[in-house]
Amino acid sequence: MSIKVSIIGGGGRVGSNAAFALQCGGIVREILLNDANADLAGGEALDLLHGAALAADQKISAGDVAAAASADVVCITAGSRRKPDESRLDLINRNVSIFKGILDDLKKNNLKKSAILFVVSNPVDVLTRLAIEHLNWPAKQVLGLGTVLDTARFCSIIADAKNLPATQVKALILGEHGDTMSPIWSSAQVAGVSLSSILSAHEQTEIFKRTQGSGAEVIKRKGGAGYAVGLGIAQVIHSIALDRRQILPVSSQMTGQYGIRKTCLSIPTVVGREGVVQAMEVELWPKEKAGIQASGKALDETWSKLK
């Protein structure tokens, strides 16, 4: 089933890279860009449109909130970055305020009852929960990018470190998209071979450190991530569009998995046309389970401090 995707924040680096990845994928029927800077969104849409003959037969345009609200998948990438001397909580509350405004605008413009809300803006786990509770939206129709990007970085860094084919490395980062993220070595493998048998404990530690710091490194060097996150967004949207039911580490609302409720974080999750098909409580090493539970506590604490 072909779908219409709107990207709110489509004029920014993340939103425009996601649109380009969706164009290259050639799966969704329509891509609409919306941004507070309408000219920027219009320019990005025009640039993409000019390449349509070389990529896919899709409708590509820029539009207002009413047009964005009519989409099957509404992908929200809008948000602001931390200012000098600003605390993490101050940034979170500022983005919460921006995000609530976006949600209210979508509601006023008759957001489709069947729409899947796909949250990319940070802090993604907090904002995914906010989308569910602020709009009283069905939890299965709301998911966040979660640790999809962290997982892609993790696999790619493992492959780079050991000269392995990146597409055959299967390893996960779960929990919070943030400081308490957890590497899952218990199931990590390359072409069916356990990575624990290939990587020493020291190598595992160093690779995870590189993964944790990779976002900050990209920001330092070029101002922010774009290509990898765009590909991650496209992977999730394609699983929705084609009802692929891929198991992805998206952020969704917990209903008792690992003893966690209401908080949104990343565990292996089946993603299909209806959004979150199933969030799976898989067997983990005790320290990995404890890591996910620590993420839940940290996110609950942040949630309690929101204005």
* Average pLDDT in the chain: 95
- Please indicate, yes or no, whether residues 218 and 125 belong to a single structural domain of this protein: no
Across residues 272-288, what is the average pLDDT? Answer: 97
* pLDDT score of 81 more than 90: no
* pLDDT score of 175 more than 70: yes
- Please indicate, yes or no, whether residues 229 and 296 belong to a single structural domain of this protein: yes
Domain tally, the chain: 2
- Please indicate, yes or no, whether residues 163 and 298 belong to a single structural domain of this protein: yes
- Please indicate, yes or no, whether residues 217 and 265 belong to a single structural domain of this protein: yes
- Please indicate, yes or no, whether residues 137 and 260 belong to a single structural domain of this protein: no
pLDDT tens digits, 195-250: 999 999 999 999 999 999 998 899 889 988 899 999 999 999 999 999 999 999 99
Across residues 8-32, what is the average pLDDT? Answer: 97
* pLDDT score of 6 more than 80: yes
Q: What is the pLDDT of residue 83?
A: 66
* pLDDT score of 1 more than 60: no
11 contacts 33 by C-beta, under 8 angstroms: yes
Q: What is the pLDDT of residue 191?
A: 95
Percentage of residues in the chain having pLDDT higher than 70: 97
Q: What is the pLDDT of residue 87?
A: 67
- Please indicate, yes or no, whether residues 172 and 112 belong to a single structural domain of this protein: no
Across residues 101-123, what is the average pLDDT? Answer: 96
* pLDDT score of 88 more than 80: no
Across residues 75-98, what is the average pLDDT? Answer: 81
Q: What is the pLDDT of residue 82?
A: 64
Vertex 184 angle, CA 183 and 189, to 5°: 120
- Please indicate, yes or no, whether residues 131 and 257 belong to a single structural domain of this protein: no
Q: What is the pLDDT of residue 80?
A: 82
- Please indicate, yes or no, whether residues 115 and 165 belong to a single structural domain of this protein: no
How does residue 35 score in pLDDT terms, banded at 50, 70 and 90? very high
Among 144, 165, 181, the domain-final residue is 144
Structural domain including 286 reads 148-304
Catalytic residues: 177
Report how far Cα 289 is from the mean position of its chain's Cα atoms: 22
> What CATH number corresponds to the domain at position 83?
3.40.50.720
Q: What is the pLDDT of residue 224?
A: 86
How does residue 90 score in pLDDT terms, banded at 50, 70 and 90? confident
pLDDT tens digits, 238-274: 999 999 999 999 999 999 999 999 999 999 999 999 9
Q: What is the pLDDT of residue 189?
A: 97
Across residues 21-43, what is the average pLDDT? Answer: 97
* pLDDT score of 61 more than 90: yes
